[in-house]
Structure 1
Amino acid sequence: MSIQSLEPDVYDDQVVRALDWLARALMHSFARDAAERDQLDLYSIYPELNSADLRNELDLIGEVNVRLDRLHNAIRALADKATSQSPAMVEDTGRLQLLCEELQIEIGDLVGRLQRKAPDGPDPKAGLTSREAEIAELIAREGLSNAELADRLHISQKTVKTHVGNVLRKLGVAQRSAIAWTLGMADQQDD
């Protein structure tokens, strides 16, 4: 727990004591909750809060995709280390990264097929804001970059990056290329 300010001498002793009291109260609460964990299972009362609980095939695919993205990032870090070691290792890690990306695209395709098989299922864009849905459709149809999206929508690239991150998270995909598949628009994307 912390408080921060860009201005010096903003917090007096009373604020510091209040923060200390609050931190101690939270620690006490966490310790009590840990001791009572067996007595009170909030996930049984509110199962929708348990993100570890996979409810259907799409949840499972989303979890696999998240783990694959972690693997992709680990391979990228290994590739960065390998640049000073061995050209062959750089090639090998590059091939592994490509395999991860291809697998994520295939997972997106699988999600799209599952959603098309179940037309009564939820619209994948249902959880998106109108701006996020607009950005997702532009990426899916035209494959626009963040800079192109910013120019088209007259917003900053930082705002676009935030929206794209939200779209990826809400759709349960890790790569932009999977957005078209998830939305069932893969055949509409321009090359």
Structure 2
Amino acid sequence: MYEKTFPNKRFKHTLEFLQRHVSKSETILDLGVENPFSDILKREGYSVQNTSGEDLDVNQDAIKNAKAEVVTAFEIFEHLLNPYTVLESVQANKLLISIPMRLWFSPAYRSKTDPWDRHYHEFEDWQLDWLLEKTGWTIIAREKWTNPVKKIGWRPLLRYFTNRYYIVYAEKVK
């Protein structure tokens, strides 16, 4: 059903995970500017507001002032220098985060053309779990999946067996 409308496996997994944990009646603050996935959420009937492109490492006002019931951060945390502060700023009681996982056979991503498109953190699952725990979140559900590429070589072969993405649904500890 979704294979023809989604550009890749990551969007399909992310949407299915979100649909299990967030109802369409809940409002969502999606960290980061509008993007293809926030457009998919809107087409699916979710009420989504994005942040405006501010540097979330130094300015969390959009997060602190949001009235959303759910905060999502899909492939944002690896770009932040200080995700701890961002997590502490979240006022909503529900949180969904997905990250590309650190791969032992591949260095951290850094764009050759865009000086801002780089990964400061590439987490292992336990590191994100610990970060959430330290900032008052309880993980309710989690999933991992692979992301094979159609290339020849050792790294592409390893991508068939090594989980690349990690997603969690967490709730604020009362």
**Which band: TM-score by shorter chain?**
under 0.3
Task: Report the TM-score, using the length of structure 1 for normalisation.
Answer: 0.23
> Highest Rg: 1 or 2?
1
Task: Report the TM-score, using the length of structure 2 for normalisation.
Answer: 0.25
